[in-house]
Chain A
């Protein structure tokens, strides 16, 4: 039986690609084989358009134990502890079925982490929606949020933070990126590379159903008006089984029975078996009659391409089956030997005593197509925003407008749906610059932050790429953590468009430059292309998830101002850059000008100086200055504690709007007691760090001398208002 042209097209393969398939097989492929090629060669699994560029990223330093290429990245945090983490997208499924799409996104990323031998200790997310005015947004938002919560809460991993953003660009293509962080013993990390001949290949976890067939291929195509008809390709999650699988795997990992382990994620049984064999330079032979199936009469095609969740593939060492099976029996999970490793370097599938597929492993992995897509770099927006040409607006009105905007409003109505405290190690929940989670039973903690700046990236992808890495670094510093490494999720439109590819290449260049300068390697990640509907691409939206270490639990800072009479300093130079700012966007619906420049030298200097002040106990509260500039960041500190601020006008300045709303980078707000002012001068001078006093903490009035005076409580009300109004509309 050979395949038809229609079938090739329906599998998202080009005719050139099919020609190659024929060449590798030495014959025509059958439908099952075509399905397997399609699953392995699609963008989602093969990274065929991104690989050549991803190679440029720095992925190593002295703390990196495992960089990209495994289920998740692994870094050393001392005392034999390793942190395992990764971020991944589940954009397409979440648009089609928001609850299940988001839930299985969380499930998948958790499996990536515990596959490596780590107990997950925190979840984070970055979710992007269309305009709140779009009729789909509300349903998508509430579905995604309950899906994220529904899964993480049930498994019992705290969801400790994230970001939620709105922009028209995501009207027809939302982004749901989930990050998981786990803790492992650095000497007990498990990998996917198979080793040894005739080893048992074991299937564990849920049974295989017909859900999610060809999910990875769906995720590698753009949407059109009929996308919602793709619902059957979305998987359904079962967090209960995930919890059992997690406990069973970790129990089995206590001894040395597992040679290699791989979760069945995108492209299920196909990609997991091929991944293991390919990395081990081995062959693999499976008897599909053994695969535990949920439904009757499932065909080999369905079994190989199902994306049913909560399944794992293990390769066990000799004579370990019995003991291992006992553990899975205890947890009431399937445990079936479905095949063995071979020396053929081929994937051989048998069903009903017949060989139904026979493919060289290399054809599916190393020899998968690789494209150097053409790209054009975008011309940068050079125009400067002339503040004097804008309609007059009062400073306090501009502030309130930003605070009550969807993007800047209080998101506790979202995070209150996530269990943030289970596992009893969450020191800092969402709402600050980074989440802080203690290492169980130890006197140290990790900080985690997830960031994106799509507006900056759209205006100038390279600067935008740099900026997110820098902002992420800054967010980690702000809680007192030494930044260690990042994971990235690169959400873009179609790589077949030269301008989108140009955005991708430039964002990578920016990320690379910042990561190299800050010694902040990329240890894992995911690329999500084809985020577009009816040929309209989303803004380039790379998302960075960073992890840092805190070695002294007494020196953790947050954004809450502490005491009346204390001073707030701006660390870093304020020039007043308004291009691409929240001030322009929220008040004038403008997204003009270039994004703020990143000076990596200042970034590093300022950050390290702030970190030193935190470690010395001088900086009492810290907040990075980002979207909205100084005034919005000050308001956030004030709202967090309920205390007020007396804000001083800048001495030398310039335009007040530029000063208070400018989004110049590399800046922090720090609170310190007046007595310490002298002590810090020397340190700042030594490190060449610019600073100035901007405010003093006071009772409950938030004011700029001589300009306006508001009650902190009113800021809080304003900050909560958007959601209350949004929620009231049915």
Chain B
């Protein structure tokens, strides 16, 4: 399996994701944002961080970089794309995913371990998990409050395009278990074809038992053929 990790000035989870992919024997290339070509890859990852300092608006400047033209065209052709945290923000800013990521409802940066529930495992990204499974993942963001219009929200809900929602330890999806104000507790969404996933939690941070749990590894395992 070949993967490409896009690196912007200000990306800071690029090494972390590369370590997790390497653990599963992915052959990973780090692709600098100024590049104009993408190597052939089975998976494209846009990592977390503060691309271009998150100036202007999180992800807005990265969405206009050279390499994104290639990412967008690959995505439209059906390549698998995973955007984590700032990567999710970039996917929204470049139009590959719909909606918006607003500032957290508490108006503060939040970094902590949270739980998400797998609503559906019917996708290339989650097939190794069970539907209904609860994962411990870590979030670290200032703008993770997902919002979209009613029409799009219905589309997401009705077509299993929301793979994960924030929940508590017992799996309750409610206001109390919502860390950032996301509509319907959404932690990640797909595009219509389910080849592009944007998620705020960091699966790569839960890929090593020494640190915490391996709850995030299933995502990378799912992506392997």
Stretch at the interface among A222-230, A236-244, A253-261, A582-590: A236-244
Which of A332, A417, A420 has most B Cβ within 10 Å? Answer: A417
Assembled-state Cα–Cα distance A241/B140 (Å): 21
Assembled-state Cα–Cα distance A507/B202 (Å): 45
Interface size class of B (residues with CB under 8 A): 20 to 34
Which chain A residues border B16 with CB–CB below 8 Å? Answer: 422-424
Whether A421 contacts B205 by the Cβ 8 Å rule is yes
Assembled-state Cα–Cα distance A241/B20 (Å): 27
Give the nearest-CB partner of A426 in chain B.
Answer: B211
Whether A154 contacts B50 by the Cβ 8 Å rule is yes
Whether B140 contacts A146 by the Cβ 8 Å rule is no
Which chain A residues border B208 with CB–CB below 8 Å? Answer: 424
Which of A331, A419, A424, A425 sits near B111, CB closer than 8 Å? A419
Give 1 or 0 for each of B66-86: 1 = CB within 8 Å of chain A CB. 000000000000000000000
Assembled-state Cα–Cα distance A43/B205 (Å): 44
Give the nearest-CB partner of B140 in chain A.
Answer: A419
Whether B111 contacts A420 by the Cβ 8 Å rule is yes
Assembled-state Cα–Cα distance A347/B58 (Å): 44
Which of B32, B53, B108, B202 sits near A421, CB closer than 8 Å? B202
Whether A422 contacts B9 by the Cβ 8 Å rule is no
Known: A418-B111, A419-B140. A154 touches B10 (CB 8 A): yes
Whether B109 contacts A150 by the Cβ 8 Å rule is yes
Whether A243 contacts B12 by the Cβ 8 Å rule is yes
Which chain B residues border A416 with CB–CB below 8 Å? Answer: 108, 110-112
Assembled-state Cα–Cα distance A298/B54 (Å): 29
Whether A153 contacts B211 by the Cβ 8 Å rule is no
Whether B211 contacts A427 by the Cβ 8 Å rule is yes
Q: Is B147 an interface residue when CB atoms closer than 8 A count as contact? A: no
Q: Is A149 an interface residue when CB atoms closer than 8 A count as contact? A: yes
Assembled-state Cα–Cα distance A560/B182 (Å): 32
Give 1 or 0 for each of B4-34: 1 = CB within 8 Å of chain A CB. 0000011011011001100000000000100
Known: A156-B49, A243-B50. A424 touches B12 (CB 8 A): no
Q: Is A438 an interface residue when CB atoms closer than 8 A count as contact? A: yes
Assembled-state Cα–Cα distance A150/B49 (Å): 12
Which chain A residues border B50 with CB–CB below 8 Å? Answer: 153-154, 156, 239-240, 243
Whether B53 contacts A240 by the Cβ 8 Å rule is yes
Whether A424 contacts B54 by the Cβ 8 Å rule is no
Whether B110 contacts A417 by the Cβ 8 Å rule is yes
Interface of B is mostly: mixed
Which chain B residues border A419 with CB–CB below 8 Å? Answer: 109, 111, 140
Assembled-state Cα–Cα distance A425/B208 (Å): 9
Which chain A residues border B140 with CB–CB below 8 Å? Answer: 153, 419, 421-422
Q: Is B204 an interface residue when CB atoms closer than 8 A count as contact? A: yes
Assembled-state Cα–Cα distance A584/B63 (Å): 58
Which chain B residues border A63 with CB–CB below 8 Å? Answer: none
The smallest C-beta distance from B176 to any residue of chain A, in angstroms, reads 14
Which of A154, A241, A244, A422 sits near B13, CB closer than 8 Å? A422
Which chain B residues border A421 with CB–CB below 8 Å? Answer: 111, 138, 140, 202, 205, 211
Whether A238 contacts B211 by the Cβ 8 Å rule is no
Which chain B residues border A149 with CB–CB below 8 Å? Answer: 109
Q: Is A155 an interface residue when CB atoms closer than 8 A count as contact? A: yes
The smallest C-beta distance from A250 to any residue of chain B, in angstroms, reads 12
Which chain A residues border B111 with CB–CB below 8 Å? Answer: 153, 416-421
Interface residues of A in 307-362 (CB under 8 A from B): 330-332
The smallest C-beta distance from A247 to any residue of chain B, in angstroms, reads 8
The smallest C-beta distance from A554 to any residue of chain B, in angstroms, reads 9
Q: Is A717 an interface residue when CB atoms closer than 8 A count as contact? A: no
Interface residues of A in 412-454 (CB under 8 A from B): 412, 416-427, 438
Which of A417, A424, A426, A553 sits near B19, CB closer than 8 Å? A424
Which of A155, A240, A427 has most B Cβ within 10 Å? Answer: A240
Give 1 or 0 for each of B186-202: 1 = CB within 8 Å of chain A CB. 00000000000000001
Whether B9 contacts A332 by the Cβ 8 Å rule is yes
The smallest C-beta distance from B47 to any residue of chain A, in angstroms, reads 10
Assembled-state Cα–Cα distance A595/B55 (Å): 50
Assembled-state Cα–Cα distance A483/B48 (Å): 34
Whether B205 contacts A424 by the Cβ 8 Å rule is yes
Which of B54, B110, B211 sits near A154, CB closer than 8 Å? B54
The smallest C-beta distance from A613 to any residue of chain B, in angstroms, reads 22
Assembled-state Cα–Cα distance A422/B12 (Å): 8
Which chain B residues border A244 with CB–CB below 8 Å? Answer: 9-10
Which chain A residues border B19 with CB–CB below 8 Å? Answer: 424
The smallest C-beta distance from A662 to any residue of chain B, in angstroms, reads 35
The smallest C-beta distance from A333 to any residue of chain B, in angstroms, reads 10
Give 1 or 0 for each of B42-57: 1 = CB within 8 Å of chain A CB. 0000001110111100
Which of B9, B55, B204, B208 has most A Cβ within 10 Å? Answer: B9
Which chain B residues border A424 with CB–CB below 8 Å? Answer: 15-16, 19-20, 204-205, 207-208, 211
The smallest C-beta distance from B107 to any residue of chain A, in angstroms, reads 10
Which chain A residues border B12 with CB–CB below 8 Å? Answer: 154-156, 243, 422
Assembled-state Cα–Cα distance A156/B53 (Å): 11
Which chain A residues border B48 with CB–CB below 8 Å? Answer: 422
Whether B109 contacts A153 by the Cβ 8 Å rule is yes
Assembled-state Cα–Cα distance A541/B211 (Å): 34
The smallest C-beta distance from B18 to any residue of chain A, in angstroms, reads 10
Assembled-state Cα–Cα distance A156/B8 (Å): 13
Whether A438 contacts B110 by the Cβ 8 Å rule is no
Which chain B residues border A153 with CB–CB below 8 Å? Answer: 50, 109, 111, 140, 142
Which chain A residues border B13 with CB–CB below 8 Å? Answer: 156, 422
The smallest C-beta distance from A382 to any residue of chain B, in angstroms, reads 47
Whether B109 contacts A417 by the Cβ 8 Å rule is yes
Assembled-state Cα–Cα distance A243/B54 (Å): 13
Assembled-state Cα–Cα distance A102/B127 (Å): 45
Assembled-state Cα–Cα distance A239/B12 (Å): 12
Known: A417-B111, A422-B205; 9 extra A-B contacts, CB below 8 A, are A153-B140, A153-B142, A240-B55, A417-B108, A417-B110, A422-B140, A423-B15, A424-B19, A438-B210
Q: List 23 A-B contacts (CB under 8 A).
A: A154-B12, A154-B50, A154-B53, A156-B12, A156-B50, A239-B53, A240-B50, A240-B53, A244-B9, A244-B10, A416-B110, A417-B108, A417-B109, A419-B111, A419-B140, A421-B211, A422-B12, A422-B140, A423-B15, A423-B16, A424-B204, A438-B210, A438-B211
Q: Which residues of A contact B (CB under 8 A)?
A: 146, 149-150, 153-156, 238-241, 243-244, 330-332, 412, 416-427, 438, 553
Q: Which residues of B contact A (CB under 8 A)?
A: 9-10, 12-13, 15-16, 19-20, 32, 48-50, 52-55, 108-112, 138, 140, 142, 202, 204-205, 207-208, 210-211
Nearest 3 CB-CB pairings of A with B: A156-B12, A240-B53, A419-B140
